[in-house]
Amino acid sequence: MSRAEELRAAFDGGFADAPAGERRAAIELLRVELAGEPHALALAELSSIHVDPRITAVPATAPALIGVIAVRGAIVPVYDLRALLGLATTRAPRWVVIAQGLAFAFDAFTGHLAVAEVPVRGDARLVRGVVEHEGRNHPIIDLAAVIAARLKEQR
Mean per-residue pLDDT for 88-101?
Answer: 91
Q: What is the rounded CA–CA span in Å between residue 83 and residue 16?
A: 54
pLDDT confidence tier of residue 5, bands split at 50, 70 and 90 = confident
For the chain, how big is the Rg over CA atoms in Å? 22
Kindly tell me if the per-residue pLDDT of 126 is higher than 90: no
Mean per-residue pLDDT for 131-137?
Answer: 87
Kindly tell me if the per-residue pLDDT of 12 is higher than 90: no
pLDDT confidence tier of residue 31, bands split at 50, 70 and 90 = very high
Q: What values do phi and psi take at 57, rounded to 5?
A: -65, 145
Can you tell me whether residue 100 is helix, strand or coil?
Answer: coil
Give domain limits for the chain: 24-154
Kindly tell me if the per-residue pLDDT of 78 is higher than 90: yes
Residue predicted with more confidence, 125 or 58? 58
Q: What is the mean pLDDT of the chain?
A: 85
> Residue 16 to residues 8, 21, 22, 146, 148: CA-CA distances in angstroms?
13, 15, 16, 47, 47
Q: Per the CATH hierarchy, to which homologous superfamily does domain 24-154 belong?
A: CheA-289, Domain 4 (2.40.50.180)
